[in-house]
Amino acid sequence: MGEVILEMKEIDKSFPGVHALDHVSFDVKCGEVHALMGENGAGKSTLMKVLTGIYSKDSGSIIFDGKEIEFHSTREAQEAGIVIVHQELNMIGDLTVAQNIFIGREPKKGFRIDDKKMIEDSKALFDRLKIHIDPTEKMSELTVGKQQMCEIAKAISHNAKVIIFDEPSAALTEKEIEDLFAIIRDLRSQNLGIVYISHRMDEIKVITDRVSVMRDGTYVGTLITEDCTKEDIINMMVGRVIYEKPKEKSLVAKDAPVVLKVEHLNAGHMVQDISFELKKGEILGFSGLMGAGRTETARAIFGADPKQSGEIYINGKKVEINSPEDAVKNGIGYLSEDRRRYGVVVQKTIIENSTLACLEDYTNGAVINKGKEKEITEKFIKEMDTKTPSSDQLVMNLSGGNQQKVVITKWLVKNCDILIFDEPTRGIDVGAKSEIYKLMNALTAEGKSIIMISSEMNEILRMSDRIIVMCEGKKTGEIAIEEATQELIMDKATRDIVA
């Protein structure tokens, strides 16, 4: 690690009702990967938005490359050499790779865009990153992993000196994460300063040099990565010990009734002859590698994708589910892995989102009963300990963990008895995870039943009463939690025949 390239000193920022940053300090050195960690709502994103000119600070100073600066837009920050690679990719699918990289600053030949130079410059960027992507290909035709690489190439094209990676691996496969890490190590060797924001503890230990932790808008401290443990970081983040013990036995009564039965479900090559049962009060874990067909199975059950054949029974009665509306009428709620796209309307309030699935219950003719809406929403805000100044807060202003609670609230207001949770803790921190886990256990204790799809082995082993394993669109195993091990699950997750 070299000299300090970026230093933020005593940064303070308040919004109405929220002291988001309380005299926070943070620095980045040339040639290092510096992790910025904390629970959702700790202030990480706000700090980076102050740095890149999205928010103005109330007080404090920012010193970059030896000079005190304050940016008033992301464009100013980019031109100076500070760039963010966002978790939600900002690419335009109908444009080519090269057009996306240089959008708004295309090379010109006279009054015309110089497409040839734009393609050549894009190739040069990819050569520098040692990746193979065709600059003339449409962005929509690339995998998420390759789109992420294009975002990095775009960042490099600004002659970046500091790159901020915000949850860069959230939607990547293991191989894509390896490729990402190779690029980050190469950028570090080129003496760039890198800020790495992630909730994945294992990644932090692999790719970072230092870890700075925030909690409740304050700076807690900085650790040398190789000198600290995962538990050290978690304790700093949440101020308490969080245990992640595997579940030792099923909590479901042996004579518990079957609430959902799926027989010989087929929906394209990703859902082939899937059969299983879900009992009352059970958390049924769905495990498998990326692309195993778990989400596709859930979407077919929920009616979001058409099924080709198969039968679905709820409480012993055969039902026809051809749309999400049919599923909701039959008491099934679905929490999508992409909550911002399918779970909530982020531009609307907590109240509006909470009654979204059953608005007809809160209307009289064309008039919405606002008082009734507010009453039920505030009941669940209290029960779920959703952190918000008020029920009128826009969902976009909530942390990821609290957005997740709003999605769950929507289905609880609808009073769904069967809940499908697809990656319920993706993109949220260990503290918020613990709260979601407690909530899931409370729901099953009161008789709700949950299908939980998760890519995290610890989560599957901690939460499931029983585990279904899938590989390449097929069910390859069914394991009682008492017998489950990581090795057994991985063995079945890499088979292509039914166990």
Give the pLDDT confidence of 80-121 residue by residue, as tens digits. Answer: 999 988 766 677 888 999 999 898 888 888 888 889 999 999
Residue 498 lies in a domain: no
69 vs 235, more confident: 69
Query: In terms of domains, do 313 and 206 share one?
Result: no
3-state secondary structure of 359: helix
426 vs 13, more confident: 13
Residue 56 lies in a domain: yes
Cα(57)–Cα(48) distance, integer angstroms: 11
- The model's confidence at residue 175, banded by pLDDT at 50, 70 and 90, is confident
Strand partners, 478: 468
pLDDT at residue 9 greater than cutoff 90: yes
Q: Residue 442: what are its φ and ψ, rounded to 5°?
A: -65, -40
pLDDT at residue 242 greater than cutoff 60: no
Residue 116 half-sphere exposure toward CB, CA atoms < 13 A: 1
Residue 243 lies in a domain: no
CATH number at residue 154: 3.40.50.300
Nearest CA to 296 out of 140, 472, 498, 461 is that of: 472
Cα(303)–Cα(242) distance, integer angstroms: 37
pLDDT at residue 165 greater than cutoff 80: yes
Instruction: Return the CA Rg of the chain.
Output: 24
Query: In terms of domains, do 112 and 226 share one?
Result: yes
Residue 6 near residue 36 (C-beta atoms within 8 A): no
Residue 253 lies in a domain: no
- The model's confidence at residue 171, banded by pLDDT at 50, 70 and 90, is low
Q: Number of folded domains in the chain?
A: 2
- Report the 10 Å Cβ neighbour count for 283: 30
Residue 198 lies in a domain: yes
Q: What local confidence, expressed as pLDDT, does residue 499 receive?
A: 38
Q: What local confidence, expressed as pLDDT, does residue 163 receive?
A: 93
Query: In terms of domains, do 328 and 228 share one?
Result: no
Helix (H) or strand (E) holding 310: strand 309-314
Q: What local confidence, expressed as pLDDT, does residue 141 receive?
A: 86
Residue 394 lies in a domain: yes
Q: What is the mean pLDDT of residues 454-463?
A: 88
Residue 337 half-sphere exposure toward CB, CA atoms < 13 A: 16
Query: In terms of domains, do 301 and 337 share one?
Result: yes
Q: What is the mean pLDDT of residues 6-19?
A: 89
Nearest CA to 150 out of 181, 175, 129, 172 is that of: 129
Query: In terms of domains, do 185 and 132 share one?
Result: yes
Interhelix angle 115-129/144-156, nearest 10 degrees: 100
Nearest CA to 465 out of 454, 479, 477, 453 is that of: 479
Range(s) of the domain holding residue 477? 258-493
- pTM for this entry: 0.60
Residue 46 lies in a domain: yes
Q: What local confidence, expressed as pLDDT, does residue 243 receive?
A: 53
Indicate the residue among 182, 210, 238 that finishes a domain. Answer: 238
Report the largest interatomic distance among the alpha carbons of the chain, rounded to a whole angstrom.
78
Indicate the residue among 208, 238, 268 that finishes a domain. Answer: 238
Query: In terms of domains, do 233 and 270 share one?
Result: no
Query: In terms of domains, do 282 and 424 share one?
Result: yes
Indicate the residue among 184, 208, 238 that finishes a domain. Answer: 238
pLDDT at residue 37 greater than cutoff 60: yes
Residue 77 lies in a domain: yes
Q: Residue 488: what are its φ and ψ, rounded to 5°?
A: -65, -45
3-state secondary structure of 449: strand
Query: In terms of domains, do 232 and 263 share one?
Result: no
Nearest CA to 86 out of 197, 162, 199 is that of: 197
Query: In terms of domains, do 226 and 288 share one?
Result: no
Q: Distances in Å between the alpha carbon of 14 and those of 23, 56, 156?
A: 11, 10, 32
Query: In terms of domains, do 262 and 226 share one?
Result: no
Query: In terms of domains, do 224 and 279 share one?
Result: no
| Per-residue model confidence as pLDDT tens digits over 274-312 | 999 999 999 999 998 767 899 999 999 999 999 999 999
Residue 196 near residue 36 (C-beta atoms within 8 A): yes
Query: In terms of domains, do 64 and 160 share one?
Result: yes
Q: What is the mean pLDDT of residues 383-400?
A: 86
Place of tokens 């230990």: 205
| Per-residue model confidence as pLDDT tens digits over 208-228 | 999 999 988 899 999 999 999
